[in-house]
């Protein structure tokens, strides 16, 4: 994008609605996250949230307003994105101004990259309850398949090698109606007292918005013609994101369908020229501290780490108070509930 075009986006106030057509070009250039893209803004609009956004040459942010009676705030998932600490500081200040104009209580931000933490501290932000995980697990897809296979744990390698023998087949779908497969499996896991996952309305909005744009794909593992596992991924700017997954609590686990299903997602991404596979969220380390209770994410964190890759730490989730009294009251209520 030319400097002249970027200069035209110097803004004094934030815009309402999904961002303009140039947004994703600028976001890719700054190395921004999928959750700051116009695609995700459209998901938020489909879920009934008001979307706000702003940018200049050095920074950009987009968020969705959470407008219940109390609190009322704007949430910037993996945002703002900025080229420097100074630019990030200005982006955070701009988001605060936009929230103030809309009589919101605070800004909830998850700024990305090295400029994030110094800018947050300079802005007086306060750490908040995590929304998006602070730690993720990234697999570099540039090595060849043989090298990627060597990075697998013995257990994952065994499950992948045995998949055909166990009668497992895999397919990728861009049909939004196929999200019902994931929802049925999710119902079974919930009935078994296990992971409940996101609301069905959320998954349907995601599928109807992203799958026709080829920005999301649903991978399904089947045995004897019946689905036994499913996983939803997002694709943006050279990264495939492992977003949601579920296995049948009986057949999926018995057939060990999860690892070969993810492996198929990895191989397809690599073949398409994707550079990274982002497993989305893991615990900070592979092991629970001695004497500490098990972390609820320990199991699936170990599952993700067993594909090879490395941990990446982000700045985390932070609040910038706008209406100080209401924000302080909200934080006090949250502390009391813990």
**Least confident residue range of 112-116, 124-128, 141-145, 218-222:** 112-116
Instruction: Answer whether residue 286 is part of any domain.
Output: no
Q: Are residues 176 and 199 in the same domain?
A: yes
In the numeric block, which tokens belong to residue 186? 């999710």
Q: Are residues 128 and 150 in the same domain?
A: no
pLDDT at 271 (0 to 100): 98
pLDDT at 298 (0 to 100): 85
pLDDT at 7 (0 to 100): 38
**Other C-beta atoms lying within 10 Å of the C-beta of residue 68:** 7
Across the range 17-28, mean pLDDT stands at 96
Q: Are residues 170 and 114 in the same domain?
A: no
3-state secondary structure of 243: strand
Read off the pTM: 0.92
Residue-number span of the structural domain to which 67 is assigned: 3-132+315-337
With 90 as the cut, is the pLDDT of residue 1 above it?
no
pLDDT at 291 (0 to 100): 66
Q: Are residues 175 and 239 in the same domain?
A: yes
- Count of alpha carbons within 13 Å of 142, Cβ hemisphere only? 3
pLDDT at 8 (0 to 100): 38
**Least confident residue range of 17-21, 65-69, 123-127, 305-309:** 65-69
Domain of 233, CATH number, reads 3.40.630.30
With 60 as the cut, is the pLDDT of residue 4 above it?
no
pLDDT tens readout for residues 62-117: 999 998 889 999 999 999 999 999 999 999 999 999 999 999 999 999 998 889 99
Dist. CA 48–CA 43, nearest whole Å:
9
Those residues whose C-beta lies under 8 Å from the C-beta of residue 43, and which sit 6 or more positions away, are 205, 206, 209, 210
Q: Are residues 206 and 248 in the same domain?
A: yes
Q: Are residues 204 and 323 in the same domain?
A: no
pLDDT at 135 (0 to 100): 95
Stated as kind and residue range, the H or E segment containing 105 is none
Dist. CA 111–CA 132, nearest whole Å:
11
pLDDT tens readout for residues 133-147: 999 999 999 999 999
Domains contained in the chain, number: 2
């Amino acid at each position: 994008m030319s400097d002249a075009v970027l200069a035209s986006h110097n803004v004094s106030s934030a815009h309402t609605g999904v961002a303009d057509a140039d947004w994703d070009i600028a976001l890719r250039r700054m190395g921004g996250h999928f959750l700051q893209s116009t695609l995700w803004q459209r998901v938020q609009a489909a879920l009934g949230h008001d979307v706000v956004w702003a940018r200049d040459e050095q920074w950009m942010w987009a968020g969705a307003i959470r407008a219940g009676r109390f609190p009322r705030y704007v949430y910037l998932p993996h945002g703002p994105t900025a080229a420097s600490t100074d630019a990030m500081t200005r982006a955070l200040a701009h988001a605060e101004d936009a929230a103030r104009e809309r009589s919101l209580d605070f800004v909830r931000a998850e700024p990305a990259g090295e400029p994030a933490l110094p800018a947050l501290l300079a802005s007086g932000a306060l750490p908040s309850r995590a929304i998006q995980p602070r730690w993720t697990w990234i697999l570099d897809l540039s090595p060849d398949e043989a090298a990627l296979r060597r990075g697998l744990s013995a257990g994952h390698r065994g499950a992948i090698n045995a998949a055909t023998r166990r009668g497992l087949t895999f397919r990728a779908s861009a049909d939004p109606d196929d999200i019902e497969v994931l929802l049925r499996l999710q119902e079974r896991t919930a009935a078994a007292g296990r992971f409940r996952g996101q609301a069905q309305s959320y998954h349907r909005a995601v599928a109807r918005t992203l799958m026709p744009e080829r920005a999301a794909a649903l991978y399904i593992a089947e045995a004897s013609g019946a689905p036994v596992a499913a996983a939803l991924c997002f694709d943006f700017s050279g990264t495939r994101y492992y977003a949601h997954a579920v296995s049948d609590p009986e057949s999926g686990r018995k057939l060990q369908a999860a690892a070969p299903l993810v492996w198929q997602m990895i191989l397809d991404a690599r073949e398409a020229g994707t550079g990274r596979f982002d497993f989305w969220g893991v615990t900070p380390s592979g092991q629970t501290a001695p004497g500490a209770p098990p972390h609820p994410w320990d199991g699936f964190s170990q599952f993700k780490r067993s594909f090879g890759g490395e941990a990446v730490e982000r700045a985390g989730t932070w609040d910038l108070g706008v209406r100080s009294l209401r924000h302080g009251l909200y934080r006090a209520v949250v502390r009391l509930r813990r």
